[in-house]
Structure 1
Amino acid sequence: MSIKAIAVDPKNVKQFIAIELPQPDVGKNDLLVEVKAVSINPVDTKVHQGAVKNGLQAPKVLGWDASGVVKTVGSSVSGFSVGDEVWYAGDITRPGSNASQQLIDYRIVAKKPKTLNWAEAAAMPLTALTAWEGLFEHLRIQDGGADKTLLIIGGAGGVGSLAIPFAAQRSKVKIIATASRPESAQWCIERGAALTVNYKDLVGELEKQGIKQVDYIFCLNDTDGHWDAIGKLIAPLGKICTIVENAEPLDQNQLKLKSASLHWEFMFTRSMYTTADIAEQGNILTQVAELVDAGKVKTTLTETLAGLTPENIQAAHDRVLDGHMQGKVVVAF
């Protein structure tokens, strides 16, 4: 039995094509999942752009978010059985989730929230893990009191849409999110932000609110463009975490004088290097599912495209590349 997938076309890397792949061998730590829905993230578009730049020798299946049903379990797998409904963000070193079936290490998988449908669930894993790891492992905002302030740059995007409610549910800090449009600002406030400001003039906008410095900064958009403002706004001994790679060298002088710390968050690190704590990603997704089923966190799904086709994958990529998405776009099949 073959697997249907949508892949980047090596003959024309700007396009997606439908392909069939042989049934894979299930490794001892693997689950074989029948994929029901996938969401598109900036990493999809970046990997695609890399293929456009560097070329491909063979079709490449993208996709790093999925919900689905377990079809087969590896010999060393524990905690999962055939028929379980699961969600996960995947592994950038393996074929992606834009396919009818996918192999995935069980340690980075969790049972999907019972209260979400396939599309609603697929919208969340990658951004949930990124937000959780950034906030609680790198910034450690849970250690901050009500007198501390968190600035989230990019509040209405996929990661920001979960970082806000996570911070609101699991810390005491005051949450400020950037949003440039009224609807984006409302989106952030509804999710738990105390205040929104326009990212185009962060220092000036915050000064209007009587805020000259913040204790934590979570940068989810344009590290280069915001770097000068980040350096000015971070409080002495403050913490900065960014998920966006820089194109130019980042001047560290302001951080050095303030003894501020800079952390990088890359959601794929644990699976890429099979770290000793790789199973923590499954644990995080389990905790997120509990928050969702308790009604404390909502899905970030805002648009669903029906059918695993090249046209729908391209359309979803176009939505992400537009740069003005609220929440997430999902392809359900």
Structure 2
Amino acid sequence: MTTAVDLTTEANLQIGYSRALPASDPFAFEERAAPIPAPRPGELVIRVEAVSVNPVDVKVRSGSDPQGFRVLGFDAAGTIVALGEGVTGFAIGDEVFYAGNIAAPGSNQRFQAVEARLVGRKPANVSFGEAAALPLTALTAWEAVFDRLGITAESEGDLLVVGASGGVGSIMLQLVRERAPKVRLIGTASAANSEWVRTMGAHDVVDHRGDLAAQIQEIAPQGVTWLFTSHSQHQEALYAKIVAPFGRIVAIDDGPRDIAALKAKSIGWLWELMFTDPQYLPESHHQQWILDQVAALVESGAVRPTVTANLGPISAVSLRRAHEAIETGRTVGKLVLEGWAGTDV
């Protein structure tokens, strides 16, 4: 093990929860002192400089009481302070970004141990806060459209992005616009967020509060080739209308349960969960490769971070504020927390 700090003497600060309380409850999150984790073989220890909060954090926290004390956080950027045995391609002091593994303690702590294979180099031209907004949504978007739907640089057709103003939709539009320029991008959004969605790369924007089927019929009379959705529950009949024969749908939420309506048009249904790779493919470096590709796109100016609010230093209070905002279901882009209260970081 190579280290830049004494892992046995310095303190770690963890922010987590032991009860599934509402985000508005002042005791929803607790701050605890803990030892700095020592890296196991294949791991890095990272000094966390910034984090972002995602709907998955809210879903996990509000689901049920954890067994003990749980630290959430699945988006981070920071600096490597220790290398575990067998780690190559990284050095002490490297600036990195990552989402990590939902089965391990998350990034809402001052020092975090992460598998090196899940970590990418931070884009050099953005802040830690801007970098922290990228990993989970970029990995989800990349896997959904390029891996699950199979969209390539030569693909032609229409991609409908349902929930295009959200974190995943905002980065997905940029990635597809850059890597698959022949694909027409249609995003759903409220009237208030339509300009944001166009700025992210959508060719057309439809109002999700209106008659979606009629709006899509005007843009793509034969139906859309592909559909990405973060809001699929109870939408089976609608999707059967607006997706073209032999089209494909990829979803990231927990619904629907009955997709029989799609059979007549031979529409394929796929799921995307970015934690599948970390949990089931222990030798995979695919997510590291994706993050490095995203970093290069950010550095070239082809993709930009989707931060819309920086809530200040990481603390129990600021995490509660972020969770409350996510729970409204109306956030645009990404929320980040940067630095630590009471420190000069």
**Superposition TM-score tier, normalisation by shorter sequence:** over 0.9
- Counterpart position of 1:265: 272
CA contact (8 A) 2:18 2:67 kept: no
- Counterpart position of 1:291: 297
Cα distance change, pair 192–57 in 1 and its aligned pair in 2 (3 A): closer
- What is the CA deviation profile of residues 285-305 of structure 1, one whole-angstrom value per residue up to 9, with x for unaligned ones? 000000000000010011111
Aligned with 2:37 (options 14, 24, 39): 24
Q: TM-score, normalised by structure 2?
A: 0.90
Q: CA deviation at 1:141?
A: 1.6
- What is the CA deviation profile of residues 32-85 of structure 1, one whole-angstrom value per residue up to 9, with x for unaligned ones? 00000000000000000113xxx2342211100000000001111110000000
- For 2:270 and 2:153, locate their aligned partners in 1 and report how far apart those are by CA, in whole Å: 16
- Counterpart position of 1:176: 186
Decide which moves more: 233-242 or 285-294.
233-242
Aligned with 2:170 (options 161, 166, 177): 161
- For 1:180 and 1:144, locate their aligned partners in 2 and report how far apart those are by CA, in whole Å: 31
Aligned with 1:142 (options 139, 152, 163): 152
Runs of 4+ in 1 over 4 A off after TM superposition: 11-14
List alignment gaps of at least 5 residues for structure 2: 1-9, 340-345
Aligned with 2:120 (options 110, 125, 131): 110
Kindly provide the amino acid, as one letter, of the partner of residue 73 in structure 1. L
Q: After superposition, where does 1:211-250 map in structure 2 within 5 Å?
A: 211-220=221-230, 222-246=231-255, 249-250=257-258
Aligned with 1:251 (options 223, 243, 259): 259
Number of aligned residue pairs: 324
Q: Secondary structure of 2:327's match? A: helix
Kindly provide the amino acid, as one letter, of the partner of residue 322 in structure 2. A
1:302 paired with 2:311, answer no
Q: CA deviation at 1:10?
A: 3.7
- For 1:243 and 1:275, locate their aligned partners in 2 and report how far apart those are by CA, in whole Å: 22
1:76 paired with 2:86, answer yes
Q: CA deviation at 1:162?
A: 0.5
Q: CA deviation at 1:275?
A: 4.2
- Counterpart position of 1:88: 98
List alignment gaps of at least 5 residues for structure 1: none
Q: TM-score, normalised by structure 1?
A: 0.93
CA contact (8 A) 1:206 1:212 kept: no
CA contact (8 A) 1:203 1:212 kept: no
Cα distance change, pair 210–79 in 1 and its aligned pair in 2 (3 A): closer
- What is the CA deviation profile of residues 78-121 of structure 1, one whole-angstrom value per residue up to 9, with x for unaligned ones? 10000000000111000010000100000010110001101000
- For 1:225 and 1:199, locate their aligned partners in 2 and report how far apart those are by CA, in whole Å: 14
- For 1:327 and 1:299, locate their aligned partners in 2 and report how far apart those are by CA, in whole Å: 9
